[in-house]
Structure formats: structure tokens, C-alpha cells
Homo-oligomer: A and B are copies of this chain.
Amino acid sequence: MFHNINIQHGESSYFQIYNYIKEIIENGMLPMGSKLPSTREMASIMKVSRNTVMKVYEMLEDNALVYTEKGKGTFVSRIKINKNKEWHVDWTKKINDFGNKAEELDIMKHEQLYKRGMISFRSIAPDESLFDVEELKRAFLNRIALEGEKILNYGYARGYKYLIDYLMKYMEEKGVSTKGKEILITNGFTEGFDIILSSLTNRGDKILCENPTHNTAIKLMKLYGLDIVGVDMDEKGLDLAHLDEKLSEDIKLAYVIPSYHNPTGTVMSFEGREILYNKLKEYKIPIIEDGFNEELQHLGTHIAPLAAISGEENSIIYIGSLSKILFPGMRIGWIFADKKLIDICESVKRSRNIHTSFLDQAILYEYMNSGAFEKYVKKVRNIYKEKYELAKSLSEKYIPNVYVLGNGGLYIFVKLKDIDSRELLDRCLKRGVIFTPGDIFYTDGGGRDTLRIGFSRNSLEEINEGIKIIGEEASYIKGR
């Protein structure tokens, strides 16, 4: 029976042989106590080296399948039927509330409507065909040459020093005071926001935010059991009158996206930011500011972040991320805040996953520091601008809307005129077009008449065709 084995090319032969012999023992084809061929004989039968057979026999012995009697040989020790099927754990019953909620809120999983060939406006990820892979390679090779093995071994939870220094300077250039502040590198914005909420909040705490807002942030706020206080937005941005209504002493934190808001794309004016900051300061509410990389912005506004407006005060927690235009797959972001808070966040980060990939941090640092980042931005800015202008003008023209928002960036936001966007989506799917219905961005079940169109990865032809289809279907629904 040992002749029957068919050794597959590519897989370690000794594992195959081990598993083969193990199986025939377990199937009872080799009775307990029976003697196996000598290692020399077995090697000859199976046409492998004697060393390989010795290794197999050793492993069989380690796993108590055979035993060796010195001078006598190797014998089968027992028949084990290992196809246990007696205990089946129903894992769905073992998941706790947190796990169940995470699954329930996992939109990505539940909305698998995309099919190949469709024109998809769902993603707001950058267009990878524009990535400067050559420069990335250069960045990698340079860093590896300079620091080789160091960045491949364990690093520090706080992050890679050169990248931190670079980002501190980056914040300073935005007009932010770095006095008493520090940086923690995280796996993107998502991890940053997650760490902040887990360090500062308790279930039931009130958190104020824009309505609509970033859906991933909503998911996390719900996962942490927070009481979400949504402040309406209109075409100009945050509705400051509604903010006044919603402000109260017992709000723990605020979360806002002043620049290139997701999903509306609006940019809060300088005056608006000052008013917002001062109002929240009056109620002693610290603010989590979702930063945004402004370099891409072809419309050129460089309005100071709240973190700058606050001067030397320390109530702003700024979360930055380069995923939106750089290399999302590398998952690099940062929290910039008061050093005492960063200190705690560092400990939380360390307990969760030790640190963010040092290799990735090093590559990203080199890429940005070498000037490749600036070159890339210059290259893509106009390409995205063209797509943005086309998407905006087509939407305004063809989709029955109350308004179309977007100040640049990789998406626009449409408020429909008396049309349910989920119904619109259903019709568009049948015509091969998919977009993100806006209700997922609302904290209160609203926004059924809104949608976000992400065009960064679509050709101009697709933008043209896709938006016209959306327009036709929307007009049809409206006209009934």
C-alpha cells in the first residue's frame, strides 16, 4: 500500500508522506502493533531520500502514531479515528453584543450589489492607475538601503520617528501650534477614531456631529453605544442655528469634518469655523476634527483647520489620513492632540496591535519627503478637477435636484427633488449603474432623498453615461 502514494510536485514531500501514513493508520489499514518498513526500504518504495523517511518517522512518533523499539523497528502504536464530529459549536450563539452589532452595522457586507461591468459611483477611493508606482519603488529601495532590517523588526507604538517629525512640520505649516501636542501614528483615520472613542467615552455619552456625516464614524459611534446628536447641514454647510438648538452642557465630544466634508464635500468658511469653535468652547466640548488632505483640492482653498484656530488651546483632537489620495492600502493615519491624551492613546494602540507597520511608515515618509508626493498631486489635480466639473455640471443638468454639492475632492452630493434614492438605486441597478444612497450618512434615518456620486475611478465617458442614466431614471420616478 505504500506504493500507492502519489507525491505532488511543489508540496513538501515529507508532509505528504506523513499525512498519507497517518491516514492509513487512522483508517485501520495498518493494525496496532504492525511493523512499518525500515527507513531504507520505505525510501526505496516511495523513491525519496532516506533522510526524508527518517523525518517522517520522527514526526509519526512525536504524534504518537508509531513507536520505535531500538534494534527492532518502528511499529504502529494505535488506531485513532480522528474524525470527531461529536461536538459542534454554534458560534452564532457565542457572539457578544459588540460582535453582533459590528456585523449588523457592516454595510460593506450587506450591500453586495455591484456586478462586473457596471458603472460604479460607490467608491471615493483614489484612482490607482494614477499612482506613481515607480516613485513608491524608489522610496522603498531608498529606505531599505538606509535602514534595512531595522524597519522590519518591532517598532514603537507611537510610530516611526521620521514620519512623526515630518507630520509635525506638516501640521505647523497648516498654522497649527504644536506646543504641548504630540502625534500617534494609526492604521488610517478609522483606527484613530476608534482609539479616541475607546479612550474617552462611555456608553450613553452624547456626541455631537454633522448630519449627514462619514458613515464609518457613525458605525463606530453606534458600536460604542453613544447617543448621537446630529446637527443639520444645508447647502452652505453646518446649520449654525440648528447647532444652537442642539448644544447642551452634557455633550461629551463633537466630531466634525470642516474641509471636504464626507459626503457633502462642503468646506466650512473661516468665519464659520471660528464661530463653531467658540460655540463649542462655551460649552467646554472638545472637538474631534476629521482632517483632510487639502493638497489635492483643485479649487485651492487652504482654510486653517480648527486645530490652528484654537491657537495654543488643547481641546482639538485632529485625525489626519493620507489614504484619501495617497495609498489607502497601506493604512497610515495619525492623531494630533494634547500630549497627555496621546500618551493614553499610545497605550491603547499598543494593547490592540503593538504598532502600525514600520515598513509602510518608512516608505510613506520617504515618498513624501522626496518630493514625489508633491509631484503626484500636481499630476492628478487637474485630472480629478476635470472629472469633478463634468460630474457636477451633468448632475445639475440631468438629475432633478434641490442642490448638488461638492467643492472639489472625489465625489459630489445630490439632494433629489421628491425622489427616494433607494428606489432610484433599484432602477439604476437594472441599467448597470450603482451609487451610494445618502441615507447611510444620516444619523437619524433621514436623507432618503440624497445620494453620493464618487467618480474618481470612472472615465469621463462613464461619468457622462452613468449620470445621464441616473438622471433619466430620476426623471421617470418624478414624472409618475
A residues adjacent to B (C-beta < 8 A)? 11-12, 15, 18-19, 22, 58-59, 62-64, 82-92, 94-96, 98-100, 102-103, 105-106, 108-109, 123, 125-126, 128-129, 131, 133, 136-137, 140-141, 144, 148-155, 157, 169, 173, 175, 186-188, 190-191, 194, 198-202, 216, 219-220, 223, 269-271, 274, 281, 284, 286, 300-304, 309-315, 323, 327-331, 337-338, 340-341, 343-348, 350-360, 363
Closest Cβ of chain B to A324, distance in Å, is 11
Question: What are 5 A-B contacts defined by CB distance under 8 Å?
Answer: A62-B270, A83-B311, A187-B187, A330-B357, A330-B358
Closest to A103 in B: B347
A347 touches B109 (CB 8 A): yes
Q: Are A352 and B313 interface neighbours, CB within 8 A?
A: no
- The copy count of this chain in the complex is 2
- Report the bound CA distance from A63 to B271 in whole Å: 8
Nearest residue (CB) in B for A94 is B200
Among B141, B327, B351, contact of A219 (Cβ-Cβ < 8 Å)? B351
**Which residue of B has the minimal Cβ distance to A194?**
B352
Write the nearest CB–CB distance from A169 to chain B, whole angstroms.
Answer: 8
Chain B, Cβ-Cβ closest to A26: B311
Q: A85-B313, A96-B198, A102-B351 are in contact. List 14 more A-B contacts (CB 8 A).
A: A11-B169, A63-B270, A84-B311, A91-B338, A95-B200, A95-B344, A105-B351, A108-B157, A109-B346, A125-B154, A133-B149, A153-B328, A223-B351, A331-B354
Given A133-B144, A353-B191, CB of A271 within 8 Å of CB of B153: no
Q: How far is the CB of A359 from chain B (nearest CB, A)?
A: 5
Q: How far is the CB of A153 from chain B (nearest CB, A)?
A: 4
A81 → B minimal CB distance (Å): 9
* A270→B63 CA distance, assembly (Å): 5
A148 proximity list for chain B (CB < 8 A): 131, 133
Within the assembled complex, what's the spacing in Å between the Cα atoms of A152 and B59? 41
**Shortest distance in angstroms between A191's beta carbon and chain B's nearest beta carbon?**
4
Q: Is the CB of B136 within 8 A of A152?
A: yes
In the bound assembly, the distance between CA atoms of A125 and B149 in angstroms comes to: 12
Looking at the assembled complex, report how far the CB atom of A270 sits from the nearest CB atom of chain B, in whole angstroms: 4
A155 proximity list for chain B (CB < 8 A): 329
Contacting residues, chain B, for A126 (C-beta < 8 A): 153
Please name all residues of chain B whose beta carbon is closer than 8 Å to the beta carbon of A358 when the two chains form the complex. 329-330
Give CA–CA (A187, B328) in the complex, Å. 16
Q: List residues of chain B with CB within 8 A of the CB of A131.
A: 148-149, 152-153
Say whether B106 contacts A133, CB under 8 Å: no
* A83, B177: Cα distance in complex, Å: 9
Q: How far is the CB of A330 from chain B (nearest CB, A)?
A: 5
**How many angstroms between the C-alpha atoms of A12 and B302 in the bound complex?**
14
B328/A356 in contact, CB under 8 A: no
Chain B's closest residue to A220 (CB) is B351
CB-CB under 8 A from A269, the residues of chain B are 64
Our pick among B58, B95, B309, B314 for the contact of A89 (Cβ within 8 Å) is: B314
A354: chain B residues within 8 A (beta carbon): 187-188, 190, 331
Across the interface, do B109 and A133 meet the contact criterion of CB distance under 8 Å?
no
The answer to whether B300 touches A58, judged by C-beta atoms less than 8 angstroms apart, is: yes
Task: Evaluate whether A340 and B173 lie within 8 angstroms (CB atoms) in the complex, with A98-B198, A347-B109, A352-B190 already known.
Answer: no
